[in-house]
Amino acid sequence: MEISIPHSLGRDEAKRRIEVGLPKLAAHIPGGGTMSSAWTGDYALEMVIKALGQTIPVALAIEDAALTGEVKVPAFLKMMAGQIGDFVKVSAGKMLDKE
């Protein structure tokens, strides 16, 4: 599932806000899930969300005017794909909105 979240922060400020918000994100994963993340490039972030016994890889790229990426929802959770995508979009949007 492809996602795109527009912003007007520029790449560096968007990255800073994502970095500040990442530690808080795990606390909001439903069902006591966990999250790990690693920067794979200057503006590329790989995350792995584990919830309900499933692993959900997320790849994000910070661009000048948008945060774009892909959420790979496993077959077992396809019925919840919209909710999972919304969780990632809303969470990333909140991180970008906070100074």
* Residue 68 confidence (pLDDT): 95
**For residue range 6-45, what is the model confidence (pLDDT) as tens digits?**
999 999 999 999 998 888 887 777 777 888 999 999 999 9
Give domain limits for the chain.
Answer: 2-94
Q: Give the per-residue pLDDT at 36.
A: 92
* CA gap 89, 97 in Å, rounded: 12
What local confidence, expressed as pLDDT, does residue 99 receive? 66
Tell me the pLDDT band of 83, cut-offs 50, 70 and 90: confident
CA distance linking residue 30 with residue 87, whole number of Å? 10
pLDDT of residue 13: 93
Angle, helices 81-97 vs 11-25, to 10°: value is 120
- Domain made up of 2-94: CATH architecture: 2-Layer Sandwich (3.30)
49, amino acid identity: I
